[in-house]
Structure 1
Amino acid sequence: MPPRNWIAVASAEHARLGRDHRPLGFMQVCHGKRPPLQRIAAGDRMACYAPATVYGGTDRLQSFVSIGVVKPGLPYEFDMGNGFVSWRRDMHYAAAFETPIAPLLGAFEFIENPERWGAKFRFGLFDVSTHDMQLIARAMQADRQALGFQDLPD
C-alpha cells in the first residue's frame, strides 16, 4: 500500500519543538490526543501547517513549518509536565525551509472553496493527495529523497 499524505495543524512553536527534537523528531496532533495518531502509518508523509507562531496566537503566520515521514512504532505517551501527558509519534523530518501557504492555495486539490480555504484545517489532521504533498515539498525545497519522492514525477 502506498504511503498516505497528511497535513497536521499546530503552532509553529510546537511544530519546531517536534522537528528539532534529538535524537528523533516527533509529532503531536490535536492537543496530544491518541486517536488521530492511530490513523497514521509508518512511512506516511506529514507536513505541519502553522496558522500562528504560538498556540492561540493571532499573528497569522500561515506557513508550513516541517515535513517528514512517520517512523515505525505505535503512538506513545509523553509527560510534558504540569500534569499534561500527550501522545506522540516518532518522525524523520526532511531538510526543508518554512514557507507560506498563500502562493499554493490555487493549486491544492483538497481546497474545495477558495474563499473558505482554512475550513479544512480546523480538523487538526487530514489527508491529502500525493500531488498536494509534492506541492508543499517543492515550495519548502524539501529533500525529495527523504520523503520518498525521488521516483515520482514532479
Structure 2
Amino acid sequence: MSTGNWLAVASADHVRIGRASGFMQVCHGKVGPLRRIGAGDGVVYYSPSTVMGGKDGLKSFTAIGRVRPGEPCRFDMGGGFVPSRRDVDWAVAHEVPVAALAGQLDFTAGPNWGYQLRFGLCPLSEHDFRLIAEAMAADVEFRLSA
C-alpha cells in the first residue's frame, strides 16, 4: 500500500460531482497521472475557480480523502468522452481558501508556487496534507485495507 499524498487540481463544480459519486479524475481524464496514486494515499483537491475556465478566483481546497484499493477505471460519460477515474473515500470537510493557510504550506513556499499546479496532479507533503485536513475540519486518519 502506498502512503503518499497528492494535490489534484480541478474546478469546484467538477470536484463536487466526484465527491458526491466517490471518485477522482485529473488531467481531463488521463490515466497516466492516476497510476501514480496508490491505495490509501491522501488526496486534496485545489480549485482555482468554481467552474472550468472561470475567473472567479475561488482558489480553495474543495475536497480531501483517501484513495480506495483498485486500479483506475474508464467511465463513459457519453459524447465520446471516456475519462479514467479512481475511487476515493471523501471525508466530510469544509472548503477552505488557500489564503487561509498562506505561509504555512510547504508547496506555497516559493514565489511561483502555482506553476506546479499546471500539471493537474503533484505530490503533497505529509505536513501540508495534515494542515489542510485540520483547516477543512476533516477526519482523514483512517487507512484502507488493500
Q: Does 1:12 align with 2:12?
A: yes
1:42-96 superposed Cα distances (whole Å, 9 cap, x missing partner): 0000000000001111111000110000000000000111111100000000111
Q: Residue deviations 1:101-152, cap 9 Å, x none?
A: 0121311112341x32211211110011100101110110101434x5xxxx
Contact 2:2/2:38 (CA < 8 Å) preserved in 1? no
1:105, 1:120 → 2: CA distance?
Answer: 17
Q: 1:53 aligns with which of 50, 53, 57?
A: 50
Give the alignment's TM-score, normalised by structure 1. 0.88
Question: Alignment length, in residue pairs?
Answer: 143
User: TM-score, normalised on structure 2?
Assistant: 0.93
Superposed structure 1 runs of 4+ greater than 4 Å apart: none
**C-alpha distance in 2, partners of 1:31/1:61?**
20
% same residue: 55
SS in 2 for 1:102: helix
Say if 2:69 is the partner of 1:72.
Answer: yes
For the 8 Å contact 2:62–2:95, the answer to whether it is kept is yes
Contact 1:67–1:137 under 8 Å retained in 2: yes
SS state of the match for residue 46, structure 2?
A: strand
Partner residue in 1 for 2:80: 83
For 1:129, give the aligned amino acid.
Answer: S
Give the letter for the 1:67 counterpart: I
Which runs of 5 or more structure 1 residues have no equivalent in the other structure?
149-154
Query: Distance in 2 between the 1:74 and 1:2 partners?
Result: 13
Q: 1:126 to 1:81 in 2, by over 3 A?
A: same
